[in-house]
């Protein structure tokens, strides 16, 4: 009884706090001062059409580096927790039925398209809505489809680890190059800005987002495989 | 539109917190945490909404073709989503391990850290 009252009290407090923001949504007529400054400077300073990408990769690049590190730590933690089990888990059930012909053929046809779309999403992050994290998630979804359609499918961990560590190291190297060639750590103006709208433009933003896309894709693929358990 | 998204996000958060406080199955608690995260992300995006604004994508000349929504909350939510995925994956892995060592998903069965 006391517990229920306490729960209701907490929820009521939360809703009351939230109502202050929700019930009176200030009708904004434009972005705030920070957002406006970012919108004005995105093309002249960085050559990036997508303002969100310019913020994420350059102006708040350190945040993104930390974010990538958190994702890496989580993937490493999942692997540490689940990979040391000695293969006992999930192995004692009845052998799984093979996937149907439709699922197999469909996965064969669709997987390259999904990977291609993921590459498109992370290569064009400075032009269109998209970016490394989104593209990486799309690529990981292709791996999930493969694991579902082919229960005996194994990821090659050597390649995954190599791609993941090399892209992470290259990301930091590009950031360090900013110290020498541009204004500071993770400054994307180490490469020429080029003409806005081209796929190779906006300095190092496409390069960094490609590296992030590869890193996130391989990390999420490893997480999916580990959470799927040994079969 | 703003208030609709705000209310939806707030409701999602409330449902998530309610589930965290009342459910006892660990996997359901993780799902409720994910629900609350999603609600928070919706609220943050709605907070940056500008009336009749579009996505902050400039044209080649750097002009704003239309009125833009605030890009800062969108960048923050992008980070929040990724961190949320990482936290959920790690929590699920911990629960898998816990289930293997104890054979129970009920939070009431794990009482060592209780006070």
pLDDT by residue (tens digit) across A107-148? 889 999 999 999 998 888 888 888 888 899 999 999 888 888
pLDDT by residue (tens digit) across A40-87? 787 777 878 888 888 888 888 888 889 999 999 998 888 888 876 555
Closest Cα in chain B, distance from residue A101 (Å): 31
Mean pLDDT of chain A: 81
Could you tell me if B56 and A32 are in contact, meaning their C-beta atoms sit under 8 angstroms apart?
no
- The pLDDT, as a whole number, for residue B31 is 93
Which among A118, A117, A122 is positioned nearest to A50, based on CA atoms? A122
Chain centroid offset of residue A20 CA: 33
Query: Is the model's pLDDT at A25 over the cut of 70?
Result: no
CA distance B68 to B57: 8
Task: Give phi and psi for B54, each to the nearest 5.
Answer: -115, 180
Contact B68 A28 (CB under 8 A): no
The residue ranking higher by pLDDT, A211 or B56, is A211
A209, two tokens: 């987002």
Q: What band does A93 get if pLDDT is binned at 50, 70 and 90? A: low
For chain B, what is the HEC assignment? CHHHHHHHHHHHHHHHHHHHHHCCEHHHHHHHHHHHHHHHHHHHHHHCCCCCCECCECCCCCCCCCCECCHHHHHHHHHHHHHHHHHHHHHHHHHHHHHHHHCCCEHHHCCCCCC
Whether the CB of B11 is below 8 Å from some CB of chain A: the reply is no
Most confident of A142-151, B56-65, B85-94: B85-94
Query: Is the model's pLDDT at A224 over the cut of 80?
Result: yes
Contact A133 B81 (CB under 8 A): yes
- Measured torsion, CA atoms of residues A48, A51, A55, A56, in degrees rounded to the nearest 10: -90
Contact A82 B81 (CB under 8 A): no
For chain B, the domains span 2-53+67-109
Contact A35 B46 (CB under 8 A): no
ipTM here: 0.82
Query: Considering the domain B2-53+67-109 in this protein, what is its CATH number?
Result: 1.10.287.3510
């Amino acid at each position: 009884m006391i517990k229920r009252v306490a729960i209701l009290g907490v929820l009521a407090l939360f809703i009351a706090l939230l109502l202050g923001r929700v019930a009176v949504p200030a009708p904004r007529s434009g972005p705030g001062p920070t957002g406006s400054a970012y919108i004005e400077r995105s093309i002249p300073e960085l050559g990036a059409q997508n303002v969100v990408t310019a913020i994420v990769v350059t102006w708040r690049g350190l945040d993104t580096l930390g974010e990538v590190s958190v994702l890496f730590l989580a993937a490493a933690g999942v692997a540490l927790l689940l990979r040391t089990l000695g293969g006992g888990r999930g192995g004692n059930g009845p052998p799984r039925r093979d996937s149907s012909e439709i699922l197999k053929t469909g996965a064969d046809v669709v997987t390259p398209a999904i990977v291609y779309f993921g590459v498109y999403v992370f290569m064009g992050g400075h032009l269109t809505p998209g970016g490394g994290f989104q593209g990486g998630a799309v690529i990981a979804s292709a791996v999930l489809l493969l694991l579902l359609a082919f229960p005996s499918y194994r990821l090659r961990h050597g390649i995954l680890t190599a791609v993941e560590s090399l892209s992470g190291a290259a990301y930091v190297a590009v950031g360090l190059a900013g110290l020498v060639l541009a204004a500071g750590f993770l400054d994307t103006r180490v490469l020429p800005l080029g003409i806005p709208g081209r796929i190779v433009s906006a300095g190092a933003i496409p390069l960094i987002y490609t590296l992030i896309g590869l890193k996130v894709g391989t990390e999420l693929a490893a997480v999916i495989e580990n959470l799927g358990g040994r079969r | 539109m703003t208030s609709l998204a705000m209310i939806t996000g707030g409701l999602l958060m409330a449902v998530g917190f309610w589930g965290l406080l009342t459910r006892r199955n660990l996997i359901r608690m993780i799902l409720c945490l994910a629900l609350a995260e999603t609600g928070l992300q919706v609220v943050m995006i709605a907070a940056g909404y500008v009336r009749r604004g579009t996505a902050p994508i400039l044209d080649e000349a750097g002009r704003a073709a239309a009125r833009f929504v605030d890009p800062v909350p969108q960048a923050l939510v992008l980070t929040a989503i990724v961190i949320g995925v990482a936290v959920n994956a790690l929590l699920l892995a911990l629960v898998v391990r816990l289930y293997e060592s104890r054979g129970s998903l009920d939070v009431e069965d794990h009482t060592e850290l209780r006070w």
